[in-house]
Amino acid sequence: MGHRAAIVGAGHTRFGVLEDGPRALLRAATDGAFASVDRGADRSAVGEAYLATLGFGGWQIGNSSAVLAEEAGLEGVPVTRVENACASGGFALRAAVRAIESGQRDLVLVAGLEKMTDVTSARRRYWLGVSGDTEWERSAGLTFAGVYGLLASRYLHQYAAGADALIAVAVKNHENGALNPNAHFQKRVTPETVRSSPRVADPLGLYDCCPVSDGAAALLLAPSGEARRYTDSPVYVDGLGAGSDSLAVQERADLLRFGATRWAVDEALHSARAERRGISFLEVHDCFTIAELLALEDLGFAEPGQAAEMTIAGRTARTGDLPVNPDGGLKAKGHPIGASGVSQAYEVFLQLRQAAGPRQIPHAERALTHNVGGAGATAAVTLYSAG
Ligand code: COA
């Protein structure tokens, strides 16, 4: 690797049910990223940009890259749209880091966006389904909540676990979301509220699911050697990993193992020459509570079946020995599909600069983000360290 990449600026809109349309969201997130650069960054210095979006609801399904160029004021800059379902943001960040590492670009913008709440509920179901397996899962009527509900049933059965671990994930992530002014849900919930919430896909209830959210996030990356021209506190990208797996879960040998995540984390650790031990906190893809447990196991931070106990014991709380999703995760912060992977890196940017306010993790020095597409079909893992 010739040039290491550093994040020098980051912007984020509120996530939730918003009045703003896609263009206004992109403008707000990218303006925020430029405004956050301590010593300023000139838009004319940007040499490349990436836009992560599914195009939910059919918004500008073709050529949305040009919209990012317009809204971010990047006249003439090449923009590439990245679509890997819910992992679009993680893969767009990966492409941006590669553009810096190639030595060909000095400043790269990556933005993630989704506008999800302005469609009818029938169209919402359709657009949530487009990233699922059409041959089996969708034709059998399975939504993503349905697929993850099956995985949750299998997990609870295989490890003779109760629903307490799923409930603990929801309570923890709502607790963290309550401290995040950008979160879709900024309210704490009790275990009883989660337990008694309406069933969505048994054993998953309302509070086991991420919501349908609008929002955008953006990052500015520069080569590490030039990062201090922009800020005294850059956040370095130390390692990248990515992988893919079968689209349909029934093609997999083990329902409770996401191969894409396993390949991605191995590659990320190898490329960073890092070990799990030094990582201060994780941002994992908790689209459903079961997904956070599976992520902890696939990422190698818990043995198979042990993530449940680890979560119930409070080890993944903000005050635990391995905080997970200090921003509230997809569960409470929200999940505007293309924005989520970029938003995870935004949280890392704040935490590693000790700028996360009341949800700051003390002594945060290294972090890992994990962004998944669909039910484990694709995954991107990124490792970071403080400047
Ligand atoms: N967690 C907690 N509360 C939620 C929620 C969630 N995930 N989703 C909605 N709510 C709340 C709303 O704020 C609203 O509260 P209010 O009555 O106090 O205003 C209430 O529940 C009803 O909201 P509504 O939007 O009508 O819910 P819904 O029943 O149409 O949708 C889900 C709920 C869980 C089905 C929907 O959020 C969903 O499909 N989530 C999964 C999205 C997904 O699959 N993403 C891709 C992942 S791979």
pLDDT 10s digits, 364-384: 999 999 999 999 999 999 999
Using most ligand atoms within 8 A of CB, pick from 212, 289, 292 the residue to mutate for ligand 1: 212
Residue 17: predicted pLDDT: 98
Is 335 one of the catalytic residues? yes
> Which residue among 3, 86, 184, 285 is the active-site one?
86
Distance 123 CA to ligand 1 centre (A): 15
Residue 199: predicted pLDDT: 97
**How many whole angstroms from its chain centre is CA 268?**
16
Question: What is the distance between the alpha carbons of residues 192 and 205, in angstroms, rounded to a whole number?
Answer: 12
Residue 387: predicted pLDDT: 78
Residue keyed to tokens 């990582």: 279
Q: Find the distance separating the first CA and the last CA of the chain, reported in whole Å.
A: 19
Q: How many helices (H) and strands (E) does the chain have?
A: 12, 11
Residue 2: predicted pLDDT: 60
Using most ligand atoms within 8 A of CB, pick from 207, 210, 247, 340 the residue to mutate for ligand 1: 210
* Residue minimizing CA distance to atom 40 of ligand 1: 211
Residues 76-109 have pLDDT tens digits of 999 999 999 999 999 999 999 999 999 999 999 9
Which residues fall within 8 angstroms of residue 374, CB to CB, at 6 or more apart?
85, 86, 131, 132, 144, 247
Is 174 one of the catalytic residues? no
| Predicted model pTM | 0.98
Beta strands, E only, the chain: 5-12, 48-52, 79-82, 108-114, 199-201, 204-205, 215-223, 235-244, 281-283, 366-373, 378-386
Q: Which CATH class is domain 5-119+211-386?
A: alpha beta
* Residue minimizing CA distance to atom 23 of ligand 1: 211
Radius of gyration over every alpha carbon of the chain, rounded to an integer in angstroms = 19
* Residue minimizing CA distance to atom 36 of ligand 1: 211
Q: Which atom of ligand 1 is nearest to the CA of 145?
A: 44
Structure tokens at 37: 């650069």
Residue 3: predicted pLDDT: 80
Residue 40: predicted pLDDT: 98
The residue type of 214 is: D
> Which residue among 3, 12, 285, 335 is the active-site one?
335
Tell me the sheet residues that pair with 322: none
* Residue minimizing CA distance to atom 44 of ligand 1: 144
Residues of the chain where predicted confidence (pLDDT) is lower than 70:
1-2
Distance 130 CA to ligand 1 centre (A): 18
Distance 307 CA to ligand 1 centre (A): 25
Question: Which residues does a 6 A CB cutoff place in the pocket of ligand 1?
Answer: 86, 128, 144-145, 185, 200, 206-207, 209-212, 287, 335
Residue keyed to tokens 């520069």: 222
